[in-house]
Structures are given as structure tokens and as C-alpha cells.
Amino acid sequence: MCDEKPMGVLKIPNLKPDVLRDPPPAIAREPMRGNLELQPLAKQVAANATLMNKFRATIGCEDEARMRDMIDEVRNYARSIDPTLTYAEGASLALLLSNTDDRGTSD
């Protein structure tokens, strides 16, 4: 039997006010695209009849998991068209599509 105990290092940060620290680096982020910028992508997604029929059948259902899966499916399809689409923009895109009628125009 081996009675060796694991060894490690415990690091405790110094929270004294007299210690000066550099601020963390700023994270450069692009602003989220608005509805007008997402509209052309929404039209391309709306052109997929199979996906849109499934999406329309899911809108308004009481099953949150099913709706979440459908939004993910729309988001993933849209990313196949525009790989720069962010997670939040995908949700906005799904909302845009929910306000789009069968002709692909906004209500």
C-alpha cells in the first residue's frame, strides 16, 4: 500500500489595498447586429421551406425544450450561411423569422 498524499500548491491572492495591479486587458467585441442588418440573412433562412415549416409548427408550443432546440436548429442553419453569426444574433434571427409570414416579408 502506498501512503503518499497528493501534494499541491495553494495560492492565496493578496487583497491588500497597497498592492497595485494592472487592470485586466479590454476585450474587443463587435457590437451585435440589429434587425436591419440581420434581415438579408433572415430572408435566406426563410427560403429553406422544410426548416420554416418545422419552425412555424413549433412557434407557440408549450414545450420550451422543443422551442429551444428549434431555435438552435435555425441558428446552426444560419451559421452555415454566415459563420460570423453570434449566439445572441441567432436568437434575434429566430425572433425575426417568427414575425415573417409565408411570403418571407415582415408583418
What pLDDT is attached to residue 102? 54
User: Cα–Cα distances in Å, from 46 out to 13, 42, 50, 86?
Assistant: 53, 6, 9, 18
Residue 18 above 90 pLDDT?
no
The pLDDT value recorded for residue 73 is 95
- pLDDT tens-digit series, residues 51-107: 999 999 998 888 999 999 999 999 999 999 999 999 999 999 999 999 876 555 555
> Is residue 20 scored above 70 in pLDDT?
no
pTM of the model: 0.67
Cell of 99: 414575425
What pLDDT sits at residue 71?
93
Cα separation, 97 vs 38, in Å, equals 10
43 or 18, which is more confident: 43
The CB density around residue 41, as the number of other CB atoms within 10 Å, is 20
β-strand partners of 5: none
CA gap 107, 84 in Å, rounded: 27
pLDDT at 33: 92
Residue 25's pLDDT is 76
